[in-house]
Structure 1
């Protein structure tokens, strides 16, 4: 849930047995969506920092497939078309009845997940096989653990982009998993060893206190 309307409906969602995370600006919402762990997202069009349309376009371009219900006070046909073209699955104009909001959320959650035939991720000199849990580079191929694969997948899908620690922890271990911060650093160390083993030209750089980035080596 994003935006001011999210805070107003939190109690109603809880009463209906809906578990929700809340964020209050577009930048925070984008980090949440990148984790790709939600059944559905309610997205306010008017958000601070990054507006809902821009956020949604970025998320879809990054491969996020979470169903999105866009909420907005703008109800003209052109506004609805803009929202749907940006990647929204449904559109609800304010003011709305909470019963309709809940019904639309249930409808989106019932939709089958989109089928993807892509079992490999390719970035630069690297090929990651998500089914076989292997990483291939210029000089060889190496097996991975499930967490190593999930971590590499997240980094490889966003090359050159800073991935925050919270995003990586949520993507690999889950939002509410009881995991120590140091576990992420340990797995980054493992991933760096795998990259070296296959002769990759890519490296994982550290942005102290913020997160990690996969980027081409300067060597």
Structure 2
């Protein structure tokens, strides 16, 4: 799954993110509610995991806004509130499910699987195709002209991020946060170096150049879906 996690407790958020990645999920982690809405509507997430209590805007308010504006994706609330009225409030706001803190990760993963099964259609296509390049998201594999391209985990994460948002410019600061994390001390040069390595593997001589630099802003993938 491609998961957006919104959790302001940095210790808990780091742990949840780590455990989700161990289960082969791709995770974007935000620590405030300020940007959650924009991330949710601008990216094809399989699941939003929203903490009820966050700075700027709480998870229930975000959930209500998303549903009001027609958002159809799965939403799971994290909450320390286990009173019946609170559970009803969260579900009435549009959450598909909730889990009460503290929780066991086995239960979290089971609820995630249940949300996927209950969906009438797949939440996210397993395959992204850009011209003659095919990404199989569950397998984390990329083929171009039928030939598999071997990427490091970080290279794959960057290219999938760009491919899922094809045609949209992803800002440099957003890429740094999503690929290396909020607390990582990484220079912009590290991103440029990663892109250079990725281009050598993806954009080989004679192939259409998919990865484009938008000077001073960020990067994007520009290609036609087949």
Distance 1:42 1:175, change over 3 A: closer
Cα deviation, 1:124-154, whole Å, max 9, x if unaligned, reads 3211345765431126332111211111111
- Residue 80 and residue 105 in structure 1: after superposition, are their counterparts in 2 closer, same or farther (change >3 A)? farther
Query: Aligned-residue CA RMSD in angstroms?
Result: 4.8
SS in structure 1 of the partner of residue 156 of structure 2: helix
Give the paired residue count. Answer: 175
How far off its partner does 1:212 sit? 0.3
2:199 to 172, 176, 192: 192
1:111 aligns with 2:111: no
> What's 1:66 paired with?
48
Counterpart of 1:173 in structure 2 is 180
TM-score calculated relative to the size of structure 1: 0.55
Supply the distance in 1 between the matched residues of 2:76 and 2:135 (Cα, whole angstroms): 30
8 Å Cα contact 1:142/1:198 also seen in 2:
no
Instruction: Name the SS of the counterpart of 1:66 in structure 2.
Output: strand
Instruction: Output the TM-score relative to the length of structure 2.
Output: 0.54
| Structure exhibiting the larger radius of gyration computed from Cα positions | 1
Counterpart in 2 of 1:206? 213
Q: Which runs of 5+ in 1 are unaligned?
A: 3-9, 21-34, 93-98
Distance of aligned partners of 1:120 and 1:171 in 2 relative to their CA distance in 1, 3 Å threshold: farther
Q: Does 1:142 align with 2:149?
A: yes
- Distance change in 2, residues 1:161/1:56 (3 Å): closer
Q: Establish whether residue 82 from structure 1 lines up as the match of residue 68 from structure 2.
A: yes
Counterpart secondary structure, 1:36:
strand
